[in-house]
Amino acid sequence: MFKKYILQVIIFILLIAIAWVLLLLRQPLPQKDNLATLNPVQPKPVQSGGDAIEQNLRPEYYPIRNWLVDEPEISAKSAIMVAFNNDEKEMVLYQKNSYQQLPIASLTKIMTAVIALENLNPEDVIRVSKNSVMIDGDKGGLIIDENLSVKDLLYIMLIESSNDAANALANDNQKISFEEFVSLMNKKAKDLGLNNVHFEDPTGLSEKNQSTVRDLTKIIKYSLNFPLLAEIIKTPQATISSSDKKFVHNLINTNKLLGKIPVVLGGKTGFTQEAGGCMFALSNINNHYLVTVILGSQSREEDTEKLINWAQNGWLWK
C-alpha cells in the first residue's frame, strides 16, 4: 500500500514537471524589462530595397535559453550578440565586457559609410588624391588621380576594408572638409545617444577610434537602414572600374564567414596591432536578425563563429 502511494506521488510530480516545461516552451515575448534597451534613438524605418533587412519580420516571441549548452570560451576582450526585429525590441543573447571602451580599428568604416551616404551623392565622382593613396594599407589598389564614384568607393572601403577609399571619401570630396567629415561622425554618434564612442579618423588606424560593443551595435543597426550599405556588406566579391574604365579593381570581402556559415548575411572586419581582431557579423536565425560584435580578439573569425553556432544551439528558436 505504501509503495503504491509513493508511486502515485512520483507520477504526480512528473506530471507537474512536464506541465512546467510545456508552459516554458509556450512563454510569450519577454516583457520590456527583460530586453536590452539598445536604441535610445530609433533610426528611420527600414526602406524597401534593403535586401539584408526586411520589414515583415515580426516573430511571436524571442528565443528561450537552453541551459544544457554552455556559453563558449572566446579570446575577444569584449563581445555582444543581440537579437532584434523591426518591432523596436531587442534581446541580448551574449555579452562579455560589453561596456568596456576599446579601439575598434576598421569597424570605424561603418560610421564613415553612414556619413558619406547622408552627406554625399552616391553618383558623385571623387578624384583620388596622393594623400589618400599614401595612407597606411594597400587594400583596394587605388591609383593617384583616378576617378571613382562615392558608391564605388563605398564598395572598395567596405569589402576590402580599404583605408585609401575611406580617406578619399572624407578628404577628397568637394562638399565637406576632412575635419568636418570626422566631426559629423562624432556628431552622429551623439545624435544616436552614444556616449562611449569617439572617432579620430575615418579609417580606424588611430587607436583613439574607440567604442563599446553595445554602442557599436547601435551604429550597425542604424547603418542597416541604408539599402546600399546593407547590400555591400553581404557582397563576397565585386569588380569596380574607374569612371574612365582605365583601372579595374577586383574586390574580395575580408569577411571569411560569408559563404562559410549559411546563416551569416554580411559583416565587417577590422584589425590593428592596438585593437587586435575586430568583427561584426549580421546573421538570420529563424527570422530573427542577430548582430554579433567582437573587439580585441586573437582570432576574430573563430570567436564570431563560436558565438553564432552557440546561438543556434544554446537558445530554443521557434
Q: pLDDT per residue over 54-96, tens digit each?
A: 444 444 557 899 999 999 999 999 999 999 876 668 899 999 9
Residues assigned a catalytic role: 106, 109, 161
Fold (CATH) for 52-316: Beta-lactamase (3.40.710)
- Tell me the whole-structure pTM to 2 decimals: 0.81
How far apart, in Å, are the Cα atoms of 168 and each of 137, 165, 247, 308?
Answer: 13, 5, 16, 34
Q: Which pLDDT score is estimated for 20?
A: 54
Per-residue pLDDT reduced to its tens digit, 196-247:
999 999 999 999 999 999 999 999 999 999 999 999 999 999 999 999 999 9
Domain segments of the chain as ranges: 52-316
Q: From residue 9, give the alpha-carbon distance in Å to each of 3, 5, 102, 217.
A: 10, 6, 56, 51
Distance CA 179, CA 158 (A): 21
Q: Please, are residues 197 and 209 in contact by the beta-carbon 8 Å criterion? A: no
Q: How far, in whole angstroms, is CA 313 from its chain's centroid?
A: 21
Nearest to 104 by CA among 196, 191, 13, 14: 196
* 71 contacts: CB under 8 Å, gap ≥ 6: 94, 310, 314
